[in-house]
Structure 1
């Protein structure tokens, strides 16, 4: 199956719409990943079909859970899941954060080549990053346990905002280690063409003391 058809089928299974320009940008992103990976070692995935499934569709499976205007992607690496989400949700503004200079240089290049005016790459560690406005959502792609992710990301949230942490298997042990005062929702994600388990942990402050 051609990559275009694989992407279209995956988007349909996820219940997402993307216009022809957005689909072209998504596939161009896969091409840029393959091209820059030779020098920057961005990902272990080299096959374009696997990249569509494990990079694009895996990232886009989170799209229904985003809300508000401002989204922070912590530990974005090569721009995942932030770049695919920014392409299909141009109404939101994304800050892509990573401490790795090479990876942020790559994300800068992607932003330029794809003309993404709603993406701002930032090189910084989340512990030292500050933002006066705050974010409606903070995305974290399983870079740490949930308690650590919450400690790092929750100060960056607006009132009513959520931390969205992407995980593989349901993180039962990590849920038990969370402090009090956090409302937790666990969503099972189904990624087209991917058999491995995927879950999204949605964390919000309840207003009680933690």
Structure 2
């Protein structure tokens, strides 16, 4: 269950990240955490079992990319799993369209439940393999968190973006070896070291663009 300690940890962590949460957003994030804890018992949504670790390793880790989202209006979270970072993105940016995609039916059922309970009208849940997904128009931002290698991430999602799209890959250690294997039509736009309150170990954000 979600405790006052979790609420305080979320408030302090968001502040450290420079992310301003409204009261509504704060309570929505905690409601999402409560659903994650409840459904994780039966659905195995995340390997993190301890609710005390979920604030830092899921919520704050997702919020760490918020300063890099910019004004891109249409986002896709690929291999969203339990909804990170897609659900926090949808909560923080009600004016943006956020799509969460996963090939696991249990996980997309959970994501649909989150959409309904949190009344996230800007969230779309897609149950599909990423290679088979054909959106009506390209996404302006595509994000993944520990989804695959940069090479696979680029190759599998190439058809979902265009030259204006930014690809955000959330990683642990800086993946120098993976950058060498980037497809020729992708390049590294920027790399950021992220500091996530309460998280041990390194976190990096790599922003990729298509090369004309």
Using the size of structure 1 for normalisation, the TM-score is 0.95
Superposed counterparts of 1:17-166, under 5 Å? 17-67=20-70, 68-166=72-170
RMSD of aligned C-alpha atoms?
1.2
- 1:166 positional shift: 1.0
Most deviating of 72-81 and 180-189: 180-189
The residue that corresponds to 1:197 in the other structure is 202
Structure 2: how far apart are the matches of 1:189 and 1:83?
19
1:182 shift after superposition: 2.5
Query: 1:181, CA displacement in angstroms?
Result: 3.8
Q: Is the 8 A contact 1:133 1:158 kept in 2?
A: no
SS of residue in 2 equivalent to 1:135: coil
Number of corresponding residues: 207
Unaligned runs of 5+ in 2: none
1:187 matches 2:192: yes
Q: Which runs of 4+ in 1 moved over 2 A?
A: 46-49, 179-183
State the shift of 1:119 in Å.
Answer: 0.5
| In 2, Cα distance between equivalents of 1:171 and 1:114 | 35
Q: CA deviation at 1:48?
A: 2.3
1:160 Cα shift? 1.1
Deviation at 1:151, TM superposition (A): 0.8
1:154 and 1:163 in contact (8 A); partners too: no
Establish whether residue 10 from structure 1 lines up as the match of residue 18 from structure 2.
no
Q: Which 5+ residue runs of structure 1 have no aligned equivalent? A: none
**More deviation in 153-162 or 90-99?**
153-162
